[in-house]
Structure 1
Amino acid sequence: MNVPKKVDLLLSGCDVVTIDGKNSVIRDGAVAIKGNKIAWIGKVSAARRRIAARSTIDGRGQIAMPGLVDAHVHTAQTLLRGKIAEIGRRRQVKIPIWRNYYIPFESMLTDEDVYLSGLLCYANMISVGTTCFAEAGGPHPDAMGRAAIDVGIRGFVALNTVDQGVGVPKTMIASTGKAYDGNVALVKRWKGTGQGTDRVQAWLALRQIIVCSPELIKAMSGAARALDVKIHTHLCEGVYEIDYALEKFGKRPTEYLDDLGALDRHMHCAHSVLLSAEEMDLYVKHRPSACHCAFNNYHIGPHRLHEMWRRGIDIGLGTDGAASWGSLDIFQVAHMARVGQQAVMGTPIAYRNVMPSEEILKVATNGGARALGIEKAIGSLEVGKKADILLVDRSQLDHAPVYDPYFVAANTVVGRDVRTVVVDGNVVMKDRELLTVDRQEIDRRLAERLPKLMERFDAMTA
Structure 2
Amino acid sequence: MAGKAGAAPQKVDLLLSGCDVVTIDDRNRVIRDGAVAIRGNRIVWIGKASAARRHVTAASTLDGAGQIAMPGLIDAHVHTAQTLLRGKLAEIGLRRPIKIPPWKNYYIPFEGMLTDEDVHLSGLLCYANMISVGTTCFAEAGGPHPDAMGRAAVEIGIRGFVALSTVDQGTNVPGSMIATTRQCHDRNVALVKRWKGASHGTDRVQAWLSLRQIMVCTPELIEGMAEAARALDVKIHTHLCEGVYEIDYALERFGKRPAEYLHGLGALDRHMHCAHSVLLSAEEMDLFVRHRPSACHCAFNNYHIGPHRLSEMWRRGIDIGLGTDGAASWGSLDIFQVAHATRIGQQAVMGTPIAYRNVMGSEEILKVATNGGARALGLENQIGSLEVGKKADILLVDRTQLDHMPLYDPYFVAANTVVGRDVRTVVIDGKVVMKDRELLTVDREEIDRRLAERLPKLMERFDAMTA
TM-score range, shorter chain: over 0.9
For residues 224-373 of structure 1, what are the structure 2 equivalents within 5 Å? 224-373=229-378
For residues 52-131 of structure 1, what are the structure 2 equivalents within 5 Å? 52-131=57-136
What's the offset of the Cα at 1:51? Answer: 1.0
Letter in 2 for 1:349: I
State how far apart, in whole Å, the 1-side matches of 2:325 and 2:157 are.
Answer: 21
Give the structure 1 partner of residue 429 of structure 2: 424
Residues 143 and 117 of structure 1, relative CA distance in 2, 3 Å threshold: same
Q: Does 1:148 align with 2:162?
A: no
Q: Does 1:398 align with 2:403?
A: yes
Q: 1:189 aligns with which of 177, 189, 194?
A: 194
Give the structure 2 partner of residue 376 of structure 1: 381
Q: Does 1:14 align with 2:19?
A: yes
Give the structure 2 partner of residue 171 of structure 1: 176
Give the structure 1 partner of residue 3 of structure 2: none
Q: 1:455 aligns with which of 457, 460, 463?
A: 460
State how far apart, in whole Å, the 1-side matches of 2:52 and 2:118 are.
Answer: 46
What's the offset of the Cα at 1:330? Answer: 0.1
Whether the 8 Å contact between 1:103 and 1:169 is mirrored in structure 2 is: yes
State how far apart, in whole Å, the 2-side matches of 1:23 and 1:143 are.
Answer: 38
State how far apart, in whole Å, the 1-side matches of 2:418 and 2:449 are.
Answer: 31
State how far apart, in whole Å, the 1-side matches of 2:28 and 2:115 are.
Answer: 46
Q: Does 1:44 align with 2:26?
A: no
Letter in 2 for 1:50: H
Q: Which runs of 4+ in 1 moved over 3 A?
A: none
What's the offset of the Cα at 1:170? Answer: 2.1
Q: TM-score, normalised by structure 2?
A: 0.98
State how far apart, in whole Å, the 1-side matches of 2:176 and 2:154 are.
Answer: 27
Letter in 2 for 1:101: Y
Whether the 8 Å contact between 1:194 and 1:200 is mirrored in structure 2 is: no
Once the two structures are superposed, residues 328-351 of structure 1 have per-residue CA deviations (whole angstroms, 9 ceiling, x without a partner) of 000000000000000000001111
State how far apart, in whole Å, the 1-side matches of 2:393 and 2:439 are.
Answer: 16
Q: CA RMSD in A?
A: 0.6
For structure 1, the residue ranges without an aligned partner over 5 or more in a row are: none
Q: Which moved more, 1:190-199 or 1:341-350?
A: 190-199
Whether the 8 Å contact between 1:149 and 1:194 is mirrored in structure 2 is: no
State how far apart, in whole Å, the 1-side matches of 2:200 and 2:254 are.
Answer: 45
Q: 1:439 aligns with which of 441, 444, 467?
A: 444
Letter in 1 for 2:18: G
State how far apart, in whole Å, the 2-side matches of 1:175 and 1:193 are.
Answer: 30
What's the offset of the Cα at 1:194? Answer: 6.2
Q: Does 1:219 align with 2:224?
A: yes
Whether the 8 Å contact between 1:194 and 1:201 is mirrored in structure 2 is: no
Q: TM-score, normalised by structure 1?
A: 0.99
What's the offset of the Cα at 1:171? Answer: 2.0
What's the offset of the Cα at 1:21? Answer: 1.3
State how far apart, in whole Å, the 1-side matches of 2:200 and 2:407 are.
Answer: 40
